[in-house]
Amino acid sequence: MGHTASPGYAYGQLERAVRTAMSAKDRATRRRARAKASRWQDVLTGMATGSLRIGSRTPVADTPAWVTLEVVHGGFATGRFLAEVALSPAEAALCAEGPGTTERERLNLWYLTDAGLAALRAMLATESYRIEVPEDAALPTVAWLLDHGYAEAALDLIAELRPHLHRLRLAPLPGAAPRPAGALVRLSTVGEVRESLRSASTPPAITAMLETLTVWHPLFDRLVALWCDTVEGEPPRLDGTGVAGGWPCRTWPADWQQRRAEWLADYARARFRHTASTAHTHPKSNFARLHRALLACEHDSTELTGRDVGWIRRALANTITKHGEPGSEPRAALRALQAAVAARPTHAELAAALAERLGCFPADGGLPSIEPVAEDAPAHLVAKVARALEAPIEELVARNVITSADVLATVLPQIAAQLLAANFDNEQLSTLYAQTYAAFRRRRGLLLLDLEHQVRIEELPWVHAIDPLRARRPDATRAARHTLDQTVLLALSAFPQAILPNTLVRELGALAKQAGLPMPLVEEVAADIFMGTFTEKWRTAAELTSRTMAGTLYARYYDLPESWTSEPPPRKFRALANRTADDFAGLCVARAGEARPSWRFRSVAANGTVLEQSQILTTQNLAVLVHTLDLRTRLQAAAPELAAQSLTWAVTRLATRTDQHHTALQAVKNAAYAWRQALFFLSFCDLDTQRATVRHLAEQATRAGLADRFAPAVNGLAHVVEGGRFTPEGRTDNGTGRRFLGWTTGKHWCLPDVRPTSRV
């Protein structure tokens, strides 16, 4: 039996969700937190009872790997199946009667009748279906196989699905699923953006301010005017010694009682209808003092004491001195300005207006252009609408819609699905596969231990059933190669400081397979789940990296092995030998000694030092991609700028002030990753460019206030650029320079003086 994850992380997430559910002021936030807490409770219950084995690729007991699971943050399965949902009213109407132990089983069995198969064939013919989870494609695949003479494959598929008919939805919901045409992609559908806009709300503080401007200020001005009409002489004002001017309650206009009654009635209505602002109710406010006095003056001021009248005079003096008398030009100008502010539409109102404009577009589709919809909208709302824009990936990056390589990975399946589906000659099957692929890529990855790998699309029984019908078409292969080249170059040029995330690596691997260019792309491994072993893929990638980067700045800076033995030494256990590269793991451990001033057996930090060496030895896929795709010439033209951008990002990250020890530590790690990316790009530059880059880096560090703290890294790079090498301890011979790594088991030399804080 393999290893399982510790429940400690899940406990921490549950505690955080419960705390938010109890303390958040926003109702929607509390509701989301309660739902999150419920999911984490399911995780912990499953781990405690043994029904969940977190770390396995089949974490739910008695459940095949292909079933789509609900997965929460960190890759923890809750035990719930995403395809296990209640029947919709339309589905229930299809099979009111029939065999089966559950409503879902009755419906799935109905789809295997003549009427049900006819319904599925009609969906396929008209493309009027939506594959929301991969399981939705199972029975349509059965229908297609039966309709095209593959009865044996269809029956085998039914037999594999039979144990799950009572629980899983295995047929799609009706309705069109518009797809971007050609090389166009979108980040969200129109419907998703519309709902996001509709959910916008006005913050309580803004609501209270607007209510004050439109309701309580006009009432206050009328209240002040009422009392000013009782003043004998000049209205009261503040001067250097106190209150000057006349006294209230000395004269009573004939209509004063009527105006008083009208004001009190208007105040009562406003108090009932408008509850966002409470400033006017503060007992020491001018509004509250004048209101209390008005209540006491039903006919005249006989109920008021001299002190009360004095407070009325003081309240009038306060507001008149500050804003002018009621009806005066200063007060009128102020109220006009405030009215103009209050008349401006709020963020929520503008969002609602945009949502209405989006109503004329199909909810499941995208926008051909955003200008007619959001041309006159504020920039932050235009950015929201732009998420539904269908455009080439390059345009979405330029518009700052795609803001990271992780986001890039979420849209790439829209293109990859079409390229991979083009291998099927039948249009219906091609469309079905494209939707299945897109749904499969929306699955959340599991936390895996013991070198387990994520479920592959070929493991879905209905995909496996049609796999023999796949034909590698030259045009699809060429298109995949072109897309692969463009995506890699775009990711490197748009986000040069970031290593390629696992989601993007998986998509690149799928495109590489379609293009006939399999390559050893390696994933980023989390330090807290690293078990100390690597597969042969890492060793292969490291060998290729050593050959590709031989003699370069990168190879000298990180002391890459000049060569690898043709065959790794034999391993004792045959089963493990087929999977692991022990010599590669051993080299990573040995090289990590430079970053281990103190040794903590199997600590997260110790794991991190080893994993960082694995990334250095493989360039975390950069060398493999550049070599396999022959991108060297194209990369050389952009390399100086990419290196400069990466180094600027690293300096900026390190210069960001923080009082949190963990945040500062993470900044050093991320800066070291960006530094490594920069050195890779610098390796494609000539010596003069490398020298100029180092000089500019030193100037940047000085301007950012990092001259002392970052000097060892700058000096170390300058030393290697000029042909020097580091000592085995990662230092220059004169001791002024150091190799910049992100992980260490002790205090990092580049870390600012920040007091460690406890982390929950």
> With the C-alpha atoms ordered 161, 165, 167, 170, is the resulting torsion angle positive or negative?
positive
How many Å is the Cα radius of gyration of the chain?
A: 34
From 35-44, 173-182, 248-257, 682-691, the region with the lowest mean pLDDT: 173-182
Mean pLDDT, to the nearest integer, of 315-326? 92
- pLDDT over threshold 90, residue 298: no
Mean pLDDT, to the nearest integer, of 60-89? 94
Better-scored residue on pLDDT, 425 or 570: 425
Cβ–Cβ under 8 Å, residues 690 and 709: no
Percentage of the chain modeled with pLDDT above 70: 95
Cβ–Cβ under 8 Å, residues 226 and 294: yes
Indicate the pairing of strand 184-185 with strand 76-81: unpaired
**Confidence band, pLDDT 50/70/90 cuts, at residue 598:** low
pLDDT by residue (tens digit) across 709-719? 999 999 999 99
- pLDDT over threshold 80, residue 588: yes
Give the model's pLDDT for residue 92: 85
- pLDDT over threshold 70, residue 759: no
- pLDDT over threshold 80, residue 561: yes
- pLDDT over threshold 60, residue 216: yes
By the 10 Å C-beta count (0-12 exposed, 13-18 middle, 19+ buried), 135 is classed as buried
- Distance in Å from the first CA to the final CA of the chain: 31
How far is CA 549 from its chain centroid? 34
Closest CA to 667 of 681, 691, 650, 687: 650
> With the C-alpha atoms ordered 347, 353, 356, 361, is the resulting torsion angle positive or negative?
negative
In DSSP terms, 54 is beta-bridged to 56
In DSSP terms, 52 is beta-bridged to 60
Give the model's pLDDT for residue 28: 83
Cβ–Cβ under 8 Å, residues 658 and 754: yes
pTM assigned to the model:
0.83
DSSP 54: B
Give the model's pLDDT for residue 172: 93
Give the model's pLDDT for residue 204: 87
Cβ–Cβ under 8 Å, residues 290 and 308: no
**Confidence band, pLDDT 50/70/90 cuts, at residue 178:** low
Give the model's pLDDT for residue 645: 97
- pLDDT over threshold 90, residue 697: yes
b/e per residue 690-722 (b: at least 16 CB within 10 A): beebbeebbebbeebebeebbbbbbbbbbbbbe
Percentage of the chain modeled with pLDDT above 90: 68
Measured between alpha carbons, how far is 5 from 294 in angstroms, rounded to an integer? 70
Indicate the pairing of strand 237-238 with strand 173-174: unpaired
Determine which helix (DSSP H) or strand (DSSP E) holds 615, and give its type and residue range: helix 604-618
By the 10 Å C-beta count (0-12 exposed, 13-18 middle, 19+ buried), 424 is classed as buried
b/e per residue 525-540 (b: at least 16 CB within 10 A): bebebbeeebbebbbb
Measured between alpha carbons, how far is 497 from 403 in angstroms, rounded to an integer? 13
Tokens 């000013």, located at residue: 228
Give the model's pLDDT for residue 597: 65
Return the axis-axis angle of helices 582-591 and 536-548, rounded to nearest 10°.
Answer: 60
Decide: helix, strand or coil at residue 474.
helix
Give the model's pLDDT for residue 599: 55
Give the model's pLDDT for residue 528: 86
pLDDT by residue (tens digit) across 562-581? 888 756 555 544 443 446 78
- pLDDT over threshold 80, residue 177: no
In DSSP terms, 81 is beta-bridged to 69
**Confidence band, pLDDT 50/70/90 cuts, at residue 485:** very high
Measured between alpha carbons, how far is 543 from 562 in angstroms, rounded to an integer? 9
